[in-house]
Structures are given as C-alpha cells and as structure tokens.
Amino acid sequence: METANLNIRTDKEVKAQAEKIFESLGLNMSTAVNIFLRQAIRENGIPFDVKLNIPNETTAAAIREGRSIAYDKSSKGYSNMTDLRAALEE
C-alpha cells in the first residue's frame, strides 16, 4: 500500500484534547484520522450529522419559558400527575 502525507492545521487545545481521547482508546492521531477518512468513504459523506444546533423561534421561546419557570422560586411545582392535571383543567 502506497501512503501519502496529509497536513492539517487545528487549534492546539483541540489537538491536545483529541490526542488524549485517542490515547485512551489506544489510537494515535494518524490512525484516528484514517478511521474518519475510511468511514467517510463508506458513508459517501461526512460520517456524522453536520448541522447547526439552533432551535427555531418556537423552541427557543419554550426553552426561555422553561428556564424562567425553573429558576422562579415562586413558581408552583407539582409532585404528581393528578395535581398537575387538576391544575391544567382549571
């Protein structure tokens, strides 16, 4: 098998963290990158989802509301479903 060199640039801290993980798995950086490349070939693309993790406005509003309720000491809480259902029916 003929090999080729691959030079990449990455943040020092990213490299250090990745090397620590790979080492615990018994891998070096070269082997880990080769695993990624081979998996990309098998998948015919990036071997994991690449997407923006940005919620839509409805979800963002629900998250804000949930956080507001969670941190509001005066917010009523329920310890069972019966009490929660009764409150929802009011």
What six digits make up the tokens of 42? Answer: 């098998």
- DSSP H helical segments within 25-73, as ranges? 29-43, 57-71
Q: What pLDDT is recorded for position 75?
A: 82
Structure tokens at 11: 């943040």
Stretch 24-36: mean pLDDT: 97
Instruction: For tokens 């009490």, name the residue.
Output: 83
pTM over 0.75: no
* Cα–Cα distance for residue pair 53/48, rounded to 1 Å: 14
Bigger pLDDT: 69 vs 21:
21
Summarize pLDDT for 81-90 with one digit per residue, the tens.
998 899 889 8
Residues 44-55 pLDDT 10s: 999 998 887 888
* pLDDT, mean over the chain: 92
**CATH class, range 1-74:** mainly alpha
